[in-house]
Structure 1
Amino acid sequence: MLIIHTSDWQIGMPARTMTEEARHRFRHDRVDAAERLLAEASSRGACCVIVAGDLFDDNTLSEDQIQRTLGVIARQQLPIVALPGNHDALEPHAILARDDLPDQLIVLDSWEPRTVVPGLEVVGAPWRSRIPGRNPAWDTVRALESYGPPPAGTVRVLVAHGQWERYDSVTTHSTLPADEIVAALDTGLIHYVALGDHHSYQIFVGGRVAFSGTHEVTAADERDPGWALAVTLEPSHPPAIERIRVGRWRILTLAETVTSADDVAAIAGRLRTLEDPARCVVRLHLDGTLPLAARLTLEQNLEAAAAALAGFELDVERVASLSDASIPADFHLRGAAATAFERLLDDPDPVSQAALRLLARLALEGNER
């Protein structure tokens, strides 16, 4: 039996660091990625798709975003099983509690086992608020003990949302009951645990517990996002997991040291040649020391090189300039402008340094006319 395990679609996420046009494309592409995944699931003959939390980024999305997503789901022939997570919890007016959801969308709104197709039971741990007292999976696992094992020949999947490991040895509202889940696996109460919330692929317990990771990147600190899992399940065998590539976007964090104008030019060249720049966000952190002219025009040159990117964040706070206390020859400054430039050179105040860079930019733009 083949299922597709995915999570954290976060349809409608704001992507505030991108340009307005890129934000629109990013939100649109998250739905497109989900549609590609559903098409892949159908082509592989999967019996269902399980979204382990956070199908939507928020319960207050625009109706256009909601209807476009529900329309994609409604066009599918196979069931899509969705667990309410922390972003789309079953609060009042939750999207996943609407009356107009497609018949193909099965919402896990309780911890009772649900028969999705013959031979497959799914039991969920739905979030009912963004910050519950503890992870709902604690109650679901306890309830499983009263239900007992699934019928012979039936595979049972636990769908939960949260963090498997305890960070800094502190239990939070998102911490999953790892020991209790492993015990449920070992006693045959469940056969596979489909997890969401951690946006990078990760497996535990010999592949019986897995985070699928997000289908499309959401943040720079995610490790290899943009995948889903094709999971083959049999009651008497360990799960067989295959990763499916889905996402197209990238959010890159780069760190470079610059000591010359040539270094800056090389970085600019790499920015201009990034693959599919319209779906790429770059966060560039620089350190080092540059000649005065190169330092003063650093932002201008790199921002121009990054113009085609969906988003660009530049950190140059750790880049100093060689203090030669002279006006670069190619600036061609005279009179009051030259006097102001020389005064600003000696003033370390951030406002003065910003004014100095602006004056340098105006001088270079004047040379180009």
Structure 2
Amino acid sequence: MRFVHTADWQLGMTRRFLGAGRPGQAAGEAQARFAQARLDAVVALGRVATDEGAAFVVVCGDVFESNLVGPDVVGRACEALRGFTVPVLLLPGNHDPADAALVTRRADFARRCPPHVTVLDRAGVHEVAPGIEVVAAPWTSKRPLSDLVADQLRALDPAPSGVVRVLAGHGAVDVLSPDAHDPAVVHTDLCRAALADGRVHYVALGDRHSTWALPGESRIGYSGAPEVTSHDETDPGNVLVVDAGPDGAVVRPVRVGRWAFTRDHATLDSDADLAALDARLSALAAPERTALRLLCEGTLTLRQRARLDDVLAAHVPVLAALEVDTTELVTRPDDADVEALGLSGFAASAAAELAADAADAEALDALGLLHRLAGTGGER
């Protein structure tokens, strides 16, 4: 039996650093494109399900960013789901738990929800089709007081002959969780035991945004988010196509995400280094879908630092976001910096004194201001 395992769509997510306040563009313009990209990823995974001949799609929690998303997010989500040609099962997670405010119980969702979509807000066994069962372990609050996956596994008998059974859960597994005292941590030994005795044939999890499988056991794992959500993720943007049965499972990731939240590092000590950085940024394959955090280190003259500012400013309007850390970058004026100002008399003497005292941050700022003022009338 083949199905698609996905999770953590978090529709309605905002990333306020995306494009905010960029020259020539409205603040948040990149955020709107990012929100659309999350919906595009949902549409893309629907095509994957059709192309792969999947029996169903299971979304293991956090379909929405929260239960408070607006009707526009709900309406667009339902329209994206309408294009699926197979059953879609939505499990409430920690972002959208099945409490009194559950978004999928709202009238605006009920009005637009396609008939092939089922919300797994009731724990236990759900028959998807003859011979196919999904065991749901939904979150009903933000702070569960037990391992919800283990609660469902303990209640199961081995699957009947001819039935393939998938458990859908959400939360951190014990081998990854930093909080050993969290009562909601998913215990992987109990999952292994349930696989071994045939109570379930695959454990589909959500919560971790990077694709991950338990070492030595590919039948327990996270699909990851279908579109990137953070710079800290190692392998987002995938869904999993799973062929599961009593004798095992074959799991294959398929990429649907198109955005990248990346980190880069540049050592800058010369004009050649600056040119290389400019070329590297220019060579990005999809800058409009790239949020970059750049760490710069090294030592530059004042003229070179101005050139760095120009290089970065030229790429800001194109990138989805550019965050630059220059705390490890030293600016050290040289004689050529003072000469390049073209000053005379008292102004020249003041510039020379500032350059001599460039270890002082205020002196360096003042010299930088002089350099910018002197450079406003022509090319730097």
Q: Give the TM-score of the pair, scaled to structure 1.
A: 0.90
Query: Greater CA deviation, 202-211 or 175-184?
Result: 202-211
Structure 1 residues 262 and 244: CA distance shift in structure 2, 3 A? same
- Note the alpha carbon deviations across 1:243-275, whole angstroms, 9 max, x for none: 111011111101121111221221111111210
Q: How many residues align?
A: 365
Aligned to 1:114: 126
Task: For structure 1, list consecutive stretches of 5 or more residues without a partner in the other structure.
Answer: none
Aligned to 1:9: 9
* 2:223 aligned with 1:212: yes
CA distance in 2, matches of 1:41, 1:29: 18
What SS does structure 2 have at the residue aligned with 1:244?
A: strand
What SS does structure 1 have at the residue aligned with 2:376?
A: helix
* 2:170 aligned with 1:158: no
CA distance in 1, matches of 2:179, 2:29: 42
Query: Greater CA deviation, 345-354 or 149-158?
Result: 345-354
CA distance in 1, matches of 2:178, 2:64: 29
Aligned to 2:241: 230
Match of 1:128 among 140, 149, 165: 140
Match of 1:51 among 47, 54, 59: 59
Aligned to 2:265: 255
Aligned to 1:82: 90
CA-CA distance at 1:208 after TM superposition: 1.2
* 2:316 aligned with 1:313: no
Q: Which letter does structure 2 place at the counterpart of 1:163?
A: A
Aligned to 2:276: 266
Aligned to 2:18: 18
Structure 1 residues 196 and 358: CA distance shift in structure 2, 3 A? farther
Map residues 90-109 of structure 1 onto 2, 5 A cutoff. Answer: 90-99=98-107, 100=110, 101-109=113-121
The question of whether the paired residues in 2 share the 8 Å contact of 1:258 and 1:286 is answered with yes
CA distance in 2, matches of 1:42, 1:322: 60
Aligned to 1:32: 40
CA-CA distance at 1:21 after TM superposition: 1.0
CA distance in 1, matches of 2:329, 2:254: 41
- Note the alpha carbon deviations across 1:145-197, whole angstroms, 9 max, x for none: xxx12221111111111222144572325521211111111111111001111
Aligned to 1:179: 189
What SS does structure 1 have at the residue aligned with 2:12?
A: coil
Task: For structure 2, list consecutive stretches of 5 or more residues without a partner in the other structure.
Answer: 20-27
Structure 1 residues 268 and 188: CA distance shift in structure 2, 3 A? same
What SS does structure 2 have at the residue aligned with 1:213?
A: coil
Structure 1 residues 167 and 301: CA distance shift in structure 2, 3 A? same
The question of whether the paired residues in 2 share the 8 Å contact of 1:138 and 1:177 is answered with yes
* 2:286 aligned with 1:303: no
The question of whether the paired residues in 2 share the 8 Å contact of 1:268 and 1:306 is answered with no
- Note the alpha carbon deviations across 1:205-249, whole angstroms, 9 max, x for none: 4311121111111111211221111101122x2111121110111
Structure 1 residues 335 and 244: CA distance shift in structure 2, 3 A? farther
Q: Which letter does structure 2 place at the counterpart of 1:159?
A: A
- Identity level (%): 38
Q: Which letter does structure 1 place at the counterpart of 2:31?
A: R
Structure 1 residues 91 and 318: CA distance shift in structure 2, 3 A? same
Structure 1 residues 260 and 123: CA distance shift in structure 2, 3 A? same
Structure 1 residues 297 and 343: CA distance shift in structure 2, 3 A? farther
- Note the alpha carbon deviations across 1:324-362, whole angstroms, 9 max, x for none: 377443333467765765565536665665555454334
CA distance in 1, matches of 2:361, 2:8: 40
CA-CA distance at 1:138 after TM superposition: 3.3
* 2:275 aligned with 1:284: no
CA-CA distance at 1:102 after TM superposition: 3.0
